[in-house]
Amino acid sequence: MSAHRLLIVALAAVASLSTPARVHAQNRGAPPPAPTAKASASIDLTGNWVAVVNEDWRYRMVTPAKGDYKGVPITSEALKIVNAWDPAADEAAGNQCKSYGAAAIMRVPGRIRVTWQDDNTLGLETDAGMQTRLFRFTPVPAPAGQPTWQGHSAARWERGGRGNPATGSSVGSLTVVTTDMRAGYLRKNGVPYSENAKVTEYFDLAPLPNDGQLLVVTTAVNDPQYLTQTFIVSSHFKKEADGSKWDPTPCSSTW
Amino acid sequence: MGSNTVLVNVVTLRTALVLLVLLWAPVNRTVFAQTELAGSWAARNTEDISRDSYPVDYLGLPLNDEGRTRALSYNESQLAMIERQCEGWPAFYFVQGPFGLKIWSDTEPVKGTAISFTIGAWEDRAPMTIWMDGRPHPSKYAEHTRGGFTTGRWEGDTLVTYTTHMKAGFLRKNGPPSSDEATMTSRFWRHGDILTVLAVVEDPIYLAEPHIITKSFQLTAAPMSPVGPPCVSGFEGRRPGESVPHYVPEKNPFVDELTKLFHLPRAAVVGEPETLYPEYRKKIKATYVRPETCTRDCGATPPR
């Protein structure tokens, strides 16, 4: 290729990258609308997932003894609540979902189902406790009134470059920040978080052998009232082919 | 062709090449995008905290029958044998153990690309060098070491590593075994000051399915040592030539310890794979009785 021909090719390439946006702006007089969260998703979290409890089995698969808060950096104020835990009283007061709130729900053994509620809202349902979380990608103020178990979640995609087509892996992640929650329990046996707690979560995907896929959720809970430092856990879920094992089960204070 | 024509052609060619390089550069940055992993990452130990406190606690492990039998034959007095005191633990221990991670990179001096990352050692854990320069794994007949052989690559901002050539050892310190055919695929995700590490351990000899470990670390300004204190062996009651302490698997005296203390079903305690899934929780619902009150090892006393 001659030098002039190469220059023409280079200039054409530059023009092809820079022209469309200008032309678009000239034609319509306004910048193009921002793509929806659904259209701009860096990873695909939708589908059915099952929790695999390789970690903290004794604190997740069964209800541990009253007063057992090992691994949770609680304050002395929280310790009073831990020692006063009364599951029957919670049940009677209609607070049986206290251990299914946003700060704890990803640690509850069960299945989750992720679907788009609309172009800018990703929904995450749990069969254990029958909870629904809504991850909103557009700024929406928290609704007035009482806080809820799942609180108000603001979501955003994080870009992470390109994946590896050879392994089928994708990169990028979802960050979700949740506030405005009802006070609840980090563990079934009454280890508390307050309504001022803030939960930051990161959702990442990884391939598994035999074409499997794993969802890893890192949960960081900050609560100056009941925690002396950030409480961080990472939970993982295997993708399932369908929802045939979905088994909705109501909240329980005792199990 | 005159000298002016040659000069014009050279300039044109150079201009074209510069334009093409400029065009290629952003794409290239995306392909090789990566994130800074070097630093000291503290373990907060707020998850997977039961680990190895009890001689028979294989909760959350998908052991097959052979793995379970080997695990139940393990006696921790083996660590008193002088030849085993400094044996250390396999590479899984960097994410399974209670320590933080000290990570640094060695770079190629001209291009500045990472030749390797290293996760520093601890007293009973070998350093893990993650080779980033594309070198292949050695032959399967090559020497196996405690830390194994690890290669890495970037997938976007995620560091993906693959470890082979580990000596036979243990998945946890209380005896669940790993074979010299075990491999580990890890992913390092950095989210601000949190580093989440996923390790997927495959072992055709002792595991019924891949064992999945996830653990998060937090960046700290307090520098960690890249090396652990030296291991110094000494007489701890077992003389050279004495038998290797072990149990007959069916007669391990600790097999029901967690069942007595926490009312946990034996199938879960000994790492039956079905116990990892929600269905098992429903299976034991009718028979499980919550222990009344925690009396020991209940958690760190909060500051006043």
B-chain CB neighbours of A214 within 8 Å are: 198, 200, 212
Nearest residue in chain B measured CA to CA from A110: B278
Say whether pLDDT at A74 is over 50. Answer: yes
Strand partners, B214: B198
Nearest residue in chain A measured CA to CA from B50: A56
H/E stretch holding A26? helix A3-28
Asked if A236 and B212 count as a contact pair (C-beta separation under 8 A), the reply is yes
B175: its two tokens = 């005896």
Between CA B286 and CA B15 the distance in angstroms is: 78
Say whether pLDDT at A27 is over 80. Answer: no
Single out the residue of B197, B231, B176 nearest to residue B119, CA to CA. Answer: B197
Whether residue A202 and residue B189 make contact (CB cut-off 8 A), yes or no, is: yes
Asked if A60 and A107 count as a contact pair (C-beta separation under 8 A), the reply is yes
- Residue-by-residue DSSP string for B149-170: EEEEEEETTEEEEEEE-BPSEE
Residue B166 identity (one-letter amino acid): M
Asked if A189 and A63 count as a contact pair (C-beta separation under 8 A), the reply is yes
A-chain CB neighbours of B16 within 8 Å are: 3, 6-7, 9-10
> pTM (2 decimals)?
0.88
What are the distances in angstroms from CA B73 to CA B78, B171, B176, B252?
A: 11, 15, 9, 7
B-chain CB neighbours of A71 within 8 Å are: 45-47, 49, 299
Of B30, B34, B213, the CB nearest to A54: B213
Return the pLDDT at A146. Answer: 92
Report B:199-218 residues touching A (Cβ under 8 A): 200, 202, 210-216, 218
**B290 near A CB under 8 A:** yes
Report B:116-155 residues touching A (Cβ under 8 A): 153-155
Q: For B206-241, how does the pLDDT look when each residue is reduced to its tens digit (9 = 90+)?
A: 999 999 999 999 999 999 999 988 899 999 998 888
In which residue ranges of chain B is pLDDT below 70?
Answer: 1-33, 50-52
- Band (pLDDT 50/70/90 cuts) for residue A208 is very high
